[in-house]
Amino acid sequence: MRKFMLFGIFFSILGLAAQAQDVEAVTDEELAKFANVEVMTSNYVDEKTEVLRNMILNNEKIDGGARYNEIKAAWGDEAKMAEAKVTEEEKAAFQAVQDFQDSLQESVKEYKTALIMDDAILGAGTYNKVNGAIKDDPALKAKLDGLIEAQKAKEAAEKAAKGDG
């Protein structure tokens, strides 16, 4: 019985050691792929935020951000809506903006999930491996954050060099 317990403890320790090796086994390439997905997702969010901003500022029915904010403050309160003299056209335009805004979170989630699931970009196994490792290792998380910031800076410099920003 004692031998059986010793074997059990031995194999448990081996299992823990194997798990620890998995966490430590994140390569620079895997970390770079993970960082790339984070940057791509951030860029996607920025693009959609710009679309939302343009929907508000360039909307002929709402007539800019100040009126949008006035409608937003009154939204859902019929007395305030009447006081602000919100037209049916403005209501429809505001609702379209709200619908787009409400869809953004799901859109971002779907976009990021597609990147993660694409083995050519990252792959679910690599995502899970790196994600678990950065939770357990602050130094690895810091390294990842550095890679993300460096990639964003490089993209910003390239965009500025082209005259796009």
DSSP per position, 59-126: -TTTTSHHHHHHHHHHTT-HHHHHHTT--HHHHHHHHHHHHHHHHHHHHHHHHHHHHHH-TTT--HHH
The better pLDDT of the pair 85, 3 is held by: 85
What does the CA dihedral 116, 53, 95, 92 come to, rounded to 10 degrees? -140
Q: What is the mean pLDDT of the chain?
A: 87
Distances, alpha carbon 47 to alpha carbons 9, 42, 153, in Å: 53, 9, 17
pLDDT of residue 17: 43
pLDDT tier at 22, thresholds 50, 70, 90? very low
Extract long-range pairs of 64-73: CB within 8 Å, 24+ residues apart: 68/94, 68/97
pLDDT tier at 10, thresholds 50, 70, 90? very low
Give residue-wise pLDDT tens across range 31-53. Answer: 999 999 999 999 999 999 999 99
Q: Where are the domains of the chain?
A: 2-162
Q: Which residues, at least 6 apart from 44, have a Cβ–Cβ distance to it below 8 Å? A: 108, 111, 112
pLDDT above 90 coverage of the chain, percent: 75
Mean pLDDT of 89-102: 94
pLDDT of residue 162: 87
pLDDT tier at 124, thresholds 50, 70, 90? very high
CA angle centred on 16, ends 10 and 22, rounded to 5°: 140
Tell me the whole-structure pTM to 2 decimals: 0.74
Instruction: Please identify which residue in the block is written with the tokens 């500022």.
Output: 57
Give residue-wise pLDDT tens across range 142-163. Answer: 999 999 999 999 999 998 998 7
- Give the span between the Cα atoms of 122 and 31, in whole angstroms: 10
pLDDT of residue 164: 65
Rg (Cα) of the chain, in Å, rounded?
25
